[in-house]
Structure 1
Amino acid sequence: MPRGFTTLLVERRPDRVHVQLNRPAVRNAIDQTMIDELHLVCADLEQDPRILILSGTNGVFASGADIAQLRERRAEDALNGINSTLFGRIARLPMPVIAAIDGWALGGGAELAYAADFRIASDTARLGNPETALGIIPAAGALWRLAALVGEPVAKEIILAGRILNAAEALAVHLVTEVHEPAALLAAAHALADRIAQQDPLATQLAKEVFHVPATEHPLADNLAQARLFESEQKFTRMTAFLERKKR
């Protein structure tokens, strides 16, 4: 993975990658350069699967898409799905993705968080989709991911009526699963990553993959994944260790 990023701060560990969105002068607004650099991160994690932690800098996750660039985009840009293509790629990464949300996560920033497998927040977090106030729609996932996460009534309040959720409200509707003091947020994200890393990586990858297949593909997809795992060395090693612990 290239190390000369201009919009991201990247920390690599053997089992995870921590990516911080880093455009503090514009509250981490997502511009084309950040999109391109996140694609490079995805390419690396597709080749070498690891947990991904996404966070912001300076008390902000991402204030949204870069409005200066967004204003100049035309129909062809919309049809190219610039943000939606990236967020879909992040959602499909082999290993789980954790969004650690501090401060504002609005518009495209919120949609990036919705694409993660886990969302945890600081008590300063604010999440919402104000796109219709700018004459557009949230077309990078909110119109379908958000309803799946929080239900149609709350999703419509956010998308159609401009409601911004604070951390307590986001926790109450299960949009986030944990709330922490800002100073403790990244430690909590790494603690969650530690728990994920204790599982068998292949089983975790297949569980995530099958979790997201269409309903019509169950139970065949489950059985095919389980058949692969039933022949894996880790299955025998981990189950033998479990039985040995029970004997003690």
Structure 2
Amino acid sequence: MTGAGENAFETLRVERREDRVVVELHRPRARNAINGTMIAELHEVCARIEADPLPLLLIGHGNVFAGGADISELRERGREEALAGINSRLFERLHRLRVPTVAAVDGWALGGGAELSYACDIRIATPAAVFAQPEPGLGIIAGAGACWRLKELVGASVAKQVLLGGYRLDAEAALRHGLVAEIVPAEELGERAHALIDRMAASSALALRMTKMVLDADGPHPLADDLTQAVLFETADKHDRMTRFLERKKR
């Protein structure tokens, strides 16, 4: 990934900046549907971020985030492909990145596209955003995280309405149920998403990483809180930031 953009990908437009990685899903003729090539290329992006951790911003090309998985490929998958967890392994890898991840959603986030957004830490949306899981109508389940991740994000009742009842969450419903952090005008989506990354970049990278680690741990974890804080309390970054804060307060 380069500062000016990366042209080695077929289904993505990737830009590595000094303090973030920006990934645009780019299959305009297929509404940015997630196919095998995109899965492989997103794995490559994850590998690079794992090697050089920077916050990640995911956005869709045009006025759609991702119109689901590529049905022509999905139709040909069988038991072995399901057990391999082609999509779910990627989304879990994305979710477990050590850096904050943001999905900026305009238009449709369907099926696997919705599940991709659920795997991110924070979502912001335009008024046109719609999250939906049409998989049962195709004879399958939402098998890449929605059946459990959506419940964690919006609660069991709303998740069942979406997954069983076929309800769609428009932007207002997504905001009301906490799935998205804010609704922004479509023309400001990129700017507002970058402003969110700016706030993250101003914080301690190690503190954000360890906060995410504790947040994502299973069950209550006061010991994890204490151990994590013990590490951070010994860092020069913590001392410098608090010194600057106290000096500003004296003015």
Q: Find the aligned partners of 2:218 and 2:176 in 1 and give their Cα distance.
A: 27
Are 1:245 and 2:218 counterparts? Answer: no
From 105, 108, 122, give the equivalent of 1:104: 108
Aligned to 1:116: 120
Question: What number of residue pairs does the alignment pair up?
Answer: 247
CA displacement at 1:3 relative to structure 2: 4.3
From 188, 191, 194, give the equivalent of 1:187: 191
From 82, 85, 89, give the equivalent of 2:89: 85
Which 5+ residue runs of structure 1 have no aligned equivalent?
none
Query: Alignment RMSD, CA only?
Result: 0.9
Q: Find the aligned partners of 1:235 and 1:144 in 2 and give their Cα distance.
A: 36
Q: Find the aligned partners of 1:243 and 1:172 in 2 and give their Cα distance.
A: 37
Map 1:117-132 to 2 at 5 A.
117-132=121-136
Structure 1 counterpart of 2:230, which letter? A
CA displacement at 1:47 relative to structure 2: 1.1
Q: Give per-residue Cα distances to partners, 1:154-189, cap 9 Å, x unaligned.
A: 100100111111111111111111111111111110
Structure 2 counterpart of 1:141, which letter? G
Aligned to 1:236: 239
Aligned to 2:17: 13
Are 1:47 and 2:45 counterparts? Answer: no
Structure 1 stretches of 4+ moved >2 Å: none
Aligned to 1:220: 223
Are 1:62 and 2:74 counterparts? Answer: no
Residue identity (%): 56
Question: TM-score, normalised to structure 2's length?
Answer: 0.96
Which 5+ residue runs of structure 2 have no aligned equivalent?
none
Structure 1 counterpart of 2:244, which letter? A
From 173, 176, 195, give the equivalent of 1:172: 176
Q: Find the aligned partners of 2:70 and 2:172 in 1 and give their Cα distance.
A: 27
Q: Find the aligned partners of 1:83 and 1:224 in 2 and give their Cα distance.
A: 34
Moved more, 172-181 or 28-37: 172-181
Q: Give per-residue Cα distances to partners, 1:68-104, cap 9 Å, x unaligned.
A: 0000000000000000000001101111100000000
Aligned to 1:144: 148
CA displacement at 1:197 relative to structure 2: 0.8
CA displacement at 1:20 relative to structure 2: 0.4
The answer to whether the 8 Å contact 2:109/2:131 transfers is: yes
Q: Find the aligned partners of 1:32 and 1:136 in 2 and give their Cα distance.
A: 18
Are 1:133 and 2:137 counterparts? Answer: yes
Are 1:209 and 2:209 counterparts? Answer: no
Aligned to 2:167: 163
Moved more, 171-180 or 107-116: 171-180
